[in-house]
Structure 1
Amino acid sequence: MTTSPPQPSAGGRLLVGAAIVLLAANLRVAVASVGVVLEQLRDDLGMSATVGGILTTLPVVCFAVFGVGSAAAVRRLGLHHAATLVLAMILVGLVVRSVVHDGTVFILCSVVALAGAAVGNVILPPLVKAHFPDRIPLVSSLYGAALMAGASTASIATVPLSDAFGGWRPGIGLWAALAAIALVPWLLMLRRDVHAGPPSTERLPLRAIARSPVAWSMVLLFTSQSAGAYAQFGWFAEMLTDSGVSDGYAGTLLGVISGVGIPLTLALPWLIGRIGDRPYLPWAFSAVTVSGWLGVLLAPSTVPWLWAVLLGLGGGAFTWTLTMIARRTRTTAGTAALSVATQGFGYLIAGLGPFGVGALHDLTGSWDASLIGLIVLGGLIAVFGTVVARPVMLEDTLAGAPRTPDRA
């Protein structure tokens, strides 16, 4: 059952819109703030590169397990209460992990923050649909840009904050202030909650789409992009510092990767409208991603800003993939099922990316093997993106699946 919120005033819509944008800005901070100080953090807590790989793998694992697993709980709890809980978890996780002195406890605190971010990923689309049904593309673009802006700002500012306040602990802990600020509007809206989700009669179980080539192409596309993206968050800065780039510059360049994606995300609806079902966008995302990692492999300290820009442009594959979930389904049930399968299985498999990068570095003593693997992942974006770009609908590939009226 879906409960619609009361129609708000213009001021009320502005408050909800600001709350959604602030929520999105917090969802990658726990990830982005660690990557730029990972080397110092590992030294202080006694973590090997392999254990550091576990830390960089946590985001994708948490996004798979907690994001998909929380759907039923969110429907019962309500979207506003869920958003409040998300931000509280992020706040607590960021604060506590900045003061602990044990690597295992640090990882557990990171799980708390990342579990909150995982649920945040799930509730953003229904929040937009519930409050802005007439402005879905606009508000979705705004929260997508805010998500990237949060990641970019955390990447750029964490090292200067660490230098200014005496170490990596305050550098990563101060980001809890952003979560505290974002909590305020959600606390004000708790009394006017909304419960949203497709009715049970319209839901498609995962087993109904397990044999769909559309679903598996989407999963593999999402996996290829996400594995490379979270390897970037976790290891890009350390790859550069190992080649002689300063910590501050490496952190800035990691921020550039996220920042470059902001205008691209805002422009993507227009680009998709112009290009349609031709696979030019995934080909372009693949080409710039491969070029960026190839640059890091062959000349990491020569023009690192160029490699950061190329990788940032390649990150547009993430937003394009999420957009294609809706474009490759006819019904609300199909969209929900494909989203769960894509993000659930995709994030779970993608966790091998950042973990593998760290493990290969430990085994070989260099980043070369890891970078070759990342180049291959970048190439797979073009392969699976070509399949996803074809105008084949999920529902048309389901044998014997229940059919519902077109609601897309």
Structure 2
Amino acid sequence: MGFMTGEETATTTSPPIRPIRSSAQDTGLRPPATRAWLTRLVIVGIVLTALNLRPAITSLGALLEEVRDGLGMSGSVAGLLTSVPSLCFAVFGVMAPRLARRFGPAAVVCAGMLAIAAGLAIRPFAGNTVGFLVASALALMGIAVSNVLMPVIVKRWFPDRVGTMTGLYSMALALGTAVAAAVTVPMTRSLGGDWQWGLAVWAGLAAVAVLPWIPLARAKGTVLSAGTASAPVSASAPASGPASASASGPASVSASASVVAAETGQEPAPLRITRSRTAWALAVFFGLQATAAYVTMGWMAQIFRDAGVSAGTAGLLLAVTMVMGVPLAFVIPRLATRLPHQGPIVVVLGLCGFAGYGGLYLAPAGGAWAWAVLLGIANCAFPLALTMVGMRARTGAGVVQLSAFAQSTGYLISIPGPLLVGVLYQHSGGWGLPIALMAGLMVPQIVVGVLAGRDRTVEDEAAR
């Protein structure tokens, strides 16, 4: 990882502390910092996991018309189908921290990848809409817990490189999203035109992603499996190892409490995260960007197809929107960690969203490629939100709670969006009202994004 630089140390304000002997060392287990192979395996696991967090959604978006015809769905039911990701992420995402404390993050992510593989393999052959929805929910459950735990794993293993590793993760996520959108239609044609096999094939990619997490889940005693049990902590200085990026004061106490809790089996006292205005702003920002993302993934290809664009080209346009996240998902987190306030980035992304929706309203086919690019830039609010999760908390425990709160609350907020778009489309007979709705949501997204981007931490706000 020679491209990693030191500018991301903005996420922690104290220099590295030399580790002292801990209980993990006393039992013959070496800290993660000395086990390079585990670190490399974590990176591989993060990348493969990220590749699998969106194909379940974008592959369906590319074949939504065929799925609707095959299962006899109305526009409203299809809107419900595009809302299922947000519902599952909200319901199952909140379970991730508790599961991670009990089984370890690696084991939970491993199980999540298995759930994705099983759900994607089953849902095309379920035979009816209900079965399709249930199997989709299984896959989305795996995505939900992995969504929440990725920022936690990044913060614990790479506390001084949050921007770089979040960028790498977000790039892989965007790449998987774009590839699924681009190749699902042609791959379906090569498989005989059967949409069922065109969707089922993505289960294979999820099965591959299980492999790196198996040894990590079995590596008991490491920070990845046992929370913070082996984190280097000093009794007189703040923690600075993979378990924490704390600075001083309350952060040190929190990190030390996490270590004691891990060794005694007791859970540390949680933050009162709902007292933090920044946590609420970040949750609403996450919810609004998720609304835009899932409307895009679920309906954008259909918007272009209804405007006269061929199915293959519509899939490519959706892929262009998604692939914009590959370079920008690496650049934006690194830029965000250099800035004391991430509000300017929020504003730029919001303005791109306005321009993209405006073009989609006025000339959906004529400027299709330009609108796809602009909306792709706007959708990069996702890696920015993930980066801010890591920056707005000073401790590993704080990141766990903030990630779970922001994502679970955010996905709850995003549930009505795709469903409402489907209802408006069916009852208005066109895309004018749905597009106007999405453009209007850019306003509150910018406002709360600016608030979430202020230089402060949830630990400080919760304490006050």
Give the TM-score, by structure 1 length.
Answer: 0.91
1:196 corresponds to which residue? Answer: 227
Q: Structure 2 matches for 1:339-354, cutoff 5 A?
A: 339-354=403-418
CA apart distance, 1:228: 1.0
CA apart distance, 1:387: 2.0
What is the number of residues matched between the two proteins? Answer: 397
CA distance in 2, matches of 1:326, 1:18: 20
CA apart distance, 1:230: 0.6
CA distance in 1, matches of 2:429, 2:164: 46
Percent identity over paired residues: 38
- The alignment status of 1:355 with 2:429, answered yes or no, reads no
- Does the 8 Å contact 2:353/2:375 carry over to 1? yes
| SS of corresponding position for 1:201 | coil
Return the structure number with greater helix share. 1
| Structure-2 change in CA distance of 1:289 and 1:248 (3 Å) | same
- Does the 8 Å contact 2:392/2:457 carry over to 1? yes
| Structure-2 change in CA distance of 1:324 and 1:17 (3 Å) | closer
2:433 corresponds to which residue? Answer: 369
Letter of the 1:348 counterpart? L
- Does the 8 Å contact 1:278/1:390 carry over to 2? yes
2:106 corresponds to which residue? Answer: 80
- Does the 8 Å contact 2:120/2:202 carry over to 1? yes
CA distance in 1, matches of 2:159, 2:338: 23
Query: Could you list the per-position Cα deviations for residues 27-77 of structure 1 after superposition, in whole angstroms to 9, with x for gaps in the alignment?
Result: 111111101100110111011111111111111111111011232122211
1:406 corresponds to which residue? Answer: none
Query: Could you list the per-position Cα deviations for residues 329-366 of structure 1 after superposition, in whole angstroms to 9, with x for gaps in the alignment?
Result: 34444433332221111101111111110011111111
CA distance in 2, matches of 1:137, 1:275: 11
Q: Structure 2 matches for 1:50-129, cutoff 5 A?
A: 50-129=76-155
Q: For the aligned residues, what is the CA RMSD?
A: 2.3
CA apart distance, 1:392: 4.2
CA distance in 2, matches of 1:227, 1:94: 23
Could you tell me which of 4, 18, 27 is aligned with 2:53? 27
CA distance in 2, matches of 1:9, 1:337: 27
- Does the 8 Å contact 1:222/1:321 carry over to 2? yes
CA distance in 2, matches of 1:273, 1:89: 33
Letter of the 1:263 counterpart? P
User: Where does structure 1 lack aligned partners over 5 or more consecutive residues?
Assistant: 404-408
- Does the 8 Å contact 1:219/1:343 carry over to 2? yes
- Range with bigger deviation, 220-229 or 191-200: 191-200
Could you tell me which of 317, 320, 345 is aligned with 1:253? 317
Q: Structure 2 matches for 1:313-392, cutoff 5 A?
A: 313-392=377-456
- Does the 8 Å contact 1:202/1:332 carry over to 2? no
| Structure-2 change in CA distance of 1:5 and 1:369 (3 Å) | farther
User: Where does structure 2 lack aligned partners over 5 or more consecutive residues?
Assistant: 1-22, 229-257, 262-266
CA apart distance, 1:141: 1.8
| SS of corresponding position for 1:98 | helix
| SS of corresponding position for 2:455 | coil
CA apart distance, 1:275: 4.2
| SS of corresponding position for 1:210 | helix
